[in-house]
Amino acid sequence: MMGRLEGKIAVVTGAGSGIGRATAVMFAREGAKVVCANRNEADGAETLQSIKAAGGEGIYVRTDVRQKSDIDRLLRAALDTYGGVTTLFNCAGVLVHKPFLEHDDEDLAKLFETNFRGYYWTMQAFLPVLVKNGHSSVTNVASISVMKPETNAYLYGAFKAAVNKMTRDMIREFSPQGVRLNVICPGPVQTNLTPEWVRNSPEARKQIQKEVCPAGRLGVPNDIAYAAVWLASNEADWVTGSTIVIDGGACNMG
């Protein structure tokens, strides 16, 4: 039985952990050849090992999306290894969680460089190849911060909203050329971006689940990866310009 992504060549940024890792592994299980991009080499290598253990095929390319030269090298590696790219999944991200007046210029630069400019540079580099291949897709990971107010996530939410706006606007230019562009907005998913006080406290997690998740639990990375597989597959051939919220109902909690 063929996988849902048989014949696809996928590049996943932020593939070293959390949603990026879960998506890279699931892409591979569904038959895609996966190029794993991540800044931390140990984490990237671990993701590649998981892909191969699952019977999948892929490579790891050390990539810091804050460096344009790294993104260019990532593209060359994908082309040299697999001859093309059909799927781009942008997931590299950082979180600064603090009151507004405590933000400083370092926070602004950190969030802008990774959470917005990294997406912008990656799409600029890869879109000519995606257009050339046709029947291609881009999925950008944003956040439910785009959809609802969130305390202490001001700059994070602002740049995620900018990614959402940019992606949806881009369909007018690129979807007629055979590239679908969509956004996934995850809710409270347990990853390494989850604040430490939540990760280390079962009581805090239970309280958050009670307050913000009608589904009764926090999300896990695979909850997002399942949607990423669908968006990358031919099953989603008529889906472009969509912002898909996957949040256990959190956006409905006010």
- Catalytic residues, by residue number, are 156
Q: Find the angle CA(109)-CA(144)-CA(247) to the nearest 5 degrees.
A: 140
Q: Rounded to whole angstroms, how far apart are CA atoms 96 and 168?
A: 25
- Using only the alpha carbons of the chain, give its radius of gyration: 17
Residue 231: CA count within 13 A, CB half-sphere = 28
How far the first Cα of the chain sits from its last, in Å, is 44
Largest Cα–Cα separation, the chain: 55
Q: Which two tokens stand for residue 11?
A: 């590049």
Closest C-alpha among 143, 55, 140 to residue 95: 143
Token reading at 47: 């993701």
For 181, the token pair is 């562009």
Q: Which residue has the tokens 């804050």?
A: 66
Angle among Cα 116, 182, 126 to the nearest 5 degrees reads: 60
Q: Which of 9, 33, 36, 8 is nearest to 22 (CA)?
A: 36
**Other C-beta atoms lying within 10 Å of the C-beta of residue 39:** 18
